[in-house]
Each structure stands twice: as C-alpha cells, then as structure tokens.
Amino acid sequence: MAPILTNSAEAIVSGQRDDLENGIVRVKNPHLASMTEDFLYHFDLGTKTHNLQAMFGDVKFVCVGGSANRMKAFAQFIHMELGLNGSDSNIMDICAGTDRYNMYKAGPVLSISHGMGVPSMSIMLHELIKLLHHAKCCDVTIIRLGTSGGIGLEPGTVVITGTAVDSFFQPQFEQVVLGKIISRSTELDKDLAQALLNCGNEIADCPTIIGNTMCTNDFYEGQGRLDGALCSFSNEEKLEYLKKAYKAGVRNIEMECTVFAAMCHSCDLKAAVVCVALLNRFDGDQITTPHEVLLEYQMRPQKLVSMFIKKQLGLLKYN
Amino acid sequence: MAPILTNSAEAIVSGQRDDLENGIVRVKNPHLASMTEDFLYHFDLGTKTHNLQAMFGDVKFVCVGGSANRMKAFAQFIHMELGLNGSDSNIMDICAGTDRYNMYKAGPVLSISHGMGVPSMSIMLHELIKLLHHAKCCDVTIIRLGTSGGIGLEPGTVVITGTAVDSFFQPQFEQVVLGKIISRSTELDKDLAQALLNCGNEIADCPTIIGNTMCTNDFYEGQGRLDGALCSFSNEEKLEYLKKAYKAGVRNIEMECTVFAAMCHSCDLKAAVVCVALLNRFDGDQITTPHEVLLEYQMRPQKLVSMFIKKQLGLLKYN
C-alpha cells in the first residue's frame, strides 16, 4: 500500500492560512497564485473572461451527480423548494459553451453533472474547487447525489456513505502522479452524514442508512457482473466477492466516491455521498425495474438533500 | 506486474468459434448466451424491446469520441461525405432515452460519445460490443477520434496510436476483477494504423504521425499539470516526467486509449486511436488556443477517418 498523504503532510501554502481562517475554499497548489489567468477548460469559464466572484460568490451548497438531466431537474426542484423568485424553467446551463459538464445555479445551490467514473469526477472537481476558490466562496458543503447498486438492501434504499472504500475495501484513493502511486485518505464528514441520515428518517417512504460505499472503475467485471461483453468468473465467485464486500460493511457500489472524498478532504471541504440503490446485487445484475419506479427512486436523494439544505438555511426546523 | 491474459488464455466459448469464422463480433462471456433478455442500460436499448439486428446489422464502422456534440457533428459530416440520402440534420440520437451516451447512425457508420476517462469508456464499450454481437454485425472496424495533449509536437498534429501505454509507459491495461488485479494487452491493429497514416499524409494541412499514446486517470496531477486544485510537484519534476514519456515514445496523452485497446483486442475487433494534439505540453498546461482554431484541429481526425472509410467503401481510390 502506498503511503497516505494526510492533510498535514501537504504544505499549507502561504496566504492559504488566511483562507482557512475565514472559511474561503482552499486549493492545495502553490503554483495557482502566480498564474495571471486560470481558464477552467471543461467548464468554459475563466478568471479573465468571467467575474467568478459575482457569478458564484454566494454559493453555499454544491450538489453533484452523474447525469446532466438529473442535475438540471435537481436545480429546478431546489429552486421551487427554496421558494426562489422567477420560474424554475428559466434556469440555464452555465457551462453551455461546452458539452463536458452541465452546471445550474439556484440561489445558494450549485448543481453540476460529473459524468461517470473517477476520471470524469476528478476533472470536474479540480475545476470546481478552483472555481469556488477564485469566487471566494465561504463555508461550502458539497454533496454527491447518485445512483448505485445495493448489496443486501431493498431496491430504493438510500445509502449515506460512512466510509468510501476501493475495490479492496480499503478507505483510500490511489492515484498515479509523475509515475508514482500516491494514496489519499477518503475520510468524509461524520456529522454531515448523521445530519443527512436524520433528514432521511423524517421522510416517508425513504428508507435511509449509513454504510460503506465501494467505488469501482468498471460497471461490469469491476462490480462482479455476469452480463458484460467480457466475463471470466462464475456466479459462485461473484457472490463470494459480494459477500466479502458486505462483511466489510459495504452496502452499495458506485464509481466516483473515493476520488470525491479524497479531493474534498484534501481541500477541507465538508463532503457527503448520498446514493440510492437501484437494485440488490445479491438478486441479479441487470436493472430491469420499470422506468417510473427508477425515477421515484432517483428523487429520494434529491428530497433528502433538499430537506437538509432547507434546515441549514433556516427554512425548516431541526427536530 | 500482474499476468497478461492473452486471447488464447481466455476460453473460446462454444458457438463463438462459428462467430469468429463468419466475422460476427464476439463477446467473451459464456453467461450471455443463456440470458433471455439483455438490456443495455446505459444505451436504453434491449434485445426484447428493440430489433437490434434490423437497427444495426449493416454497421461496418464504429467511431467513438468523448464529446456528444463532436460525435453528432461527425455523424452529420460522414453522412454528407458518403453522399447518403436525406438531410444530415435529420440524424437523431438513438440513445435519446438516456443522457449517459449519445449515438448516431449514418449508413454503415455508427458514431457514439463515450464521455471522459477509462470507466466511462469501459461501460460504453461493454454495451457497444454486446450490441454489435446481438445485431450480428460482421467485420467491424472501430476507431476512437479524440483530443489530447501533445508531447514535443506542434499543436494540431494528429497522432495515430502505435502502442497504448499506461502512466508507467507500459503497454497494458490493469483492472481489478473480484478483488484481483488482472492485466490485458493493449495491442492495436498495425495495418489499420498504417492505412490511417497514409490517409493523413494525403490531406493538406493535416500533419500526422504514428506514436505511443499514454492514458491517464486524471487530467491535472495525473498528466503532470501544474494548474489543478491539487499539485505537490515542481515545474522541473513535471518536465522530467514528460521527457521520460517522450523518451519512451509517448507523443500524446489522453484518458481512454488503454481500456479501448484492451477490450477491442480481447474481442478481436480491429481498432485504432486517432487523436489531435491541442497543445504541446513542453510549452504549458492550459488550453488557451482560440476556439475557432481548436474547432479546426478537432476536424482533422474527422477528415482523416472519413477519407479512410470512403476508401474502404470504394468511394475513393487508394493511391
């Protein structure tokens, strides 16, 4: 196992100590301060072409998810839930100049798509964290709202990630930097997870638990599915692996949580992962649940996170 | 290094020997034949809901690329280039039921987006290879048309991948399957690469080379960029890594080629990777070239692949 780079092991760059004290989102890159321009290529936004502080300075919550349609729907939903002025149908894609990601803003909430898999999430997060830093955003909470495969759960169960683990059930994110493997901690904010669980428990028909979430780099072989174009293992071997995962506390599998947890942790961003399980992998591999039922499942993380945001903003009381 | 699974080391499943002989696209999964239905979730297409053979049986060329807009533009371009009937503006997204991928068909050419990074490419390829197999497609050639960062190249140079290598410059794709690391060969078709190079050489203002392509799992730290949200190395360390890559024959860096090469090789699909270099990484990290110039660069792989397809179909003569 590669050494774990803890926050304290990474240099706190001059000037960033101030950022930490006043809650401004930090970057962990000493080179950034000396750049005369920073163009966020995959957002089609830049420090010279856009007034990022005016556009994003009031952001307090960033919600991210794989699907562009889902994140647009979430922006419209939270716009309505927060009782913001104007029609939710007027919410425009801020990244319309590129088709890599979609970004929507509803008051203090930013809603962004990140595509599928660790690399796609990682590009988005690099540019998002820089954007929040350039915009001098303070005290930001970031939540991934996703879909996942459940292990030993009723389909439709919402899993709030306790610990994000890799395919070996380890709480780490390994990455190659300049030809060397480095490993980062995937620690998530425990208080935030508990606050989200409490919200889930208040919503009718929204079974919610805290459990470990496994992140894989492949949906088929990588998650022990028997129905990909390639498969070289038996049903028994698959079930043995899923049982081992269950025993290690894994309750759902998706494809982004480790890099999300690691990068947010490195930059001291409060982060959580809230995914609904679309199926129970002990029962099969294919997602055959009717479309309307899947849509209702996908609304559950949105409702839960909306309740959390409303409570944080004082629009709803804590029980 | 994990053991390399060669094609011969993977079992040829009963019935697939016939597929091999008559050129039908093969899967390497003994479980698939016994499934009564196969629903390709991320395409929103299925064997029970769609007549895949009627829809796709005539496909001979599959072109894939990261961006949905670019792959739509390519479908319209190749429609026009092949002189197909009907207006190119009528080409519809076959995967309109989902926003995970976009798919367009122009005669024998399928054009599909795969998003960014290995996991997103891998999901798409699993479902694409199954689709081609279910549709009984024969003698299919698959080409990735992409963008990349160049090493020691003039921006705008088109690189046809000789060998797809990982971040350690090795010609392999490593993947975790049931908690074990397996490694697959990333061999690509040499004759196809040469035929594509010949096309590039016939096109004016389209500098084209064959070189090694490095695949990384991150765009910033993973490619030695100094401008991400996280960076813990110096400009000198970065340049040292890029020089090592150059010395190993690497001429460009992108984020999908190893899994693309490995999966196509495993399923005996003729495959090639054709990427334009948007910048020379020895000169910097940010992509600041004007939008119009970038658009012209991105057309170069499209023109090159279009010429190749027209020659293969007998619409253009080989020199």
Do you know the residue count of chain A?
319
Distance of CA A28 to the CA centre of its chain: 19
Tens of pLDDT, residue by residue over B220-234, are 999 999 999 999 999
**Contact at 8 Å (CB) between A165 and A294?**
no
pLDDT band for B22, please (50, 70, 90 cuts): confident
Check pLDDT > 50 for residue B8: no
Q: Which residue of A has its CA nearest to B97?
A: A291
Cβ–Cβ below 8 Å for A266 and B217: no
Phi-psi region of A57 (alpha: psi -120 to 50; beta: other; left: phi over 0): alpha
Do you know the residue count of chain B?
319
pLDDT attached to residue A272: 98
**Count of other CB atoms within 10 angstroms of residue A43:** 22
Higher pLDDT, A13 or B268: B268
pLDDT band for B257, please (50, 70, 90 cuts): very high
Cβ–Cβ below 8 Å for B38 and A227: yes
**Cα B129 to Cα B263: distance, rounded to the nearest angstrom:** 9
Check pLDDT > 90 for residue A16: no
pLDDT attached to residue A1: 41
Which of A224, A226, A287 faces B41 most closely, judged by CB atoms?
Answer: A287
Tens of pLDDT, residue by residue over B145-169, are 999 999 999 999 999 999 999 999 9
Q: Which residue of B has its CA nearest to A41?
A: B287
State the nearest Cα–Cα gap between A282 and chain B, in angstroms.
15
Higher pLDDT, A216 or B316: A216
> What average pLDDT does chain B have?
93
pLDDT attached to residue A11: 43
**Contact at 8 Å (CB) between B28 and B19?**
no
pLDDT attached to residue B271: 98
In the sheet that holds A172-177, the strands lie side by side as A4-5, A180-185, A172-177
State the nearest Cα–Cα gap between A227 and chain B, in angstroms.
6
pLDDT band for A23, please (50, 70, 90 cuts): confident
Point out the least confidently predicted range of A48-62, B85-99, B222-236.
B85-99
Check pLDDT > 50 for residue B92: yes
Cβ–Cβ below 8 Å for A32 and B227: yes
Which pair of tokens denotes residue B25?
């696209």
Tens of pLDDT, residue by residue over A121-159, are 999 999 999 999 999 999 999 999 999 999 999 999 999
Query: How many alpha carbons fall within 13 Å on the CB side of residue A318?
Result: 10
**Cα B129 to Cα B120: distance, rounded to the nearest angstrom:** 14
Check pLDDT > 90 for residue B208: yes
Q: Name the fold adopted by A147-319.
A: Rossmann fold (3.40.50)
Which of A68, A119, A231 faces B217 most closely, judged by CB atoms?
Answer: A119
Contacts of B5 in chain A (CB under 8 A): 232
Which pair of tokens denotes residue B280?
């020379």
Cβ–Cβ below 8 Å for A130 and B229: yes
Check pLDDT > 80 for residue B9: no
The residue among B178, B226, B292 with the most chain A CBs within 10 A of its CB, best to mutate, is B178
Percent of chain A with pLDDT over 90: 89
Domain ranges of chain B: 37-139, 147-319
pLDDT attached to residue A288: 84
Which of A35, A178, A255 faces B233 most closely, judged by CB atoms?
Answer: A178
pLDDT band for A313, please (50, 70, 90 cuts): very high
pLDDT attached to residue B89: 84
> What are the DSSP calls for A148-182, one per residue?
EEESSS-TT-EEEEEEEE-TTS-SEEEEEETTEEE
Check pLDDT > 90 for residue B17: no
This model of the complex carries an ipTM of 0.94
The residue among B127, B232, B250, B291 with the most chain A CBs within 10 A of its CB, best to mutate, is B232
Quick check: B33 contacting A, CB < 8 Å? no
Looking at residues B233-242, what average pLDDT do you find? 98
pLDDT band for A12, please (50, 70, 90 cuts): very low
Contacts of B227 in chain A (CB under 8 A): 29, 31-32, 35, 38
Cβ–Cβ below 8 Å for A237 and B125: no
**Contact at 8 Å (CB) between B127 and B43?**
yes
HEC string for chain B: CCCEECHHHCCCCCCHHHHHHHCECCCECCCHHHCCCCEECCCCEECCCCCHHHHHCCCCEEEEECCHHHHHHHHHHHHHHCCCCCCHHHCCCCCCCCCCCCEEEECCEEEEECCCCHHHHHHHHHHHHHHHHHCCCECCEEEEEEEEEECCCCCCCEEEEEEEECCCCCCEEEEEECCEEEEEECCCCHHHHHHHHHHHHHCCCCCEEEEEEEECCCCCHHHCCCCCCECCCCHHHHHHHHHHHHHCCEEEEECCHHHHHHHHHHCCCEEEEEEEEEEECCCCCCCCCCHHHHHHHHHHHHHHHHHHHHHHCCCCCCC
pTM recorded for the entire structure: 0.94
Looking at residues A244-268, what average pLDDT do you find? 98
Cβ–Cβ below 8 Å for A255 and B177: no
pLDDT attached to residue A88: 84
**Cα B25 to Cα B135: distance, rounded to the nearest angstrom:** 9
Percent of chain B with pLDDT over 70: 93
**Cα B115 to Cα A101: distance, rounded to the nearest angstrom:** 10
Quick check: A161 contacting B, CB < 8 Å? no
Higher pLDDT, B171 or B12: B171
Looking at residues A297-305, what average pLDDT do you find? 98
Check pLDDT > 70 for residue B13: no
Helices vs strands, H then E, count in chain A: 8, 13
pLDDT band for A314, please (50, 70, 90 cuts): very high
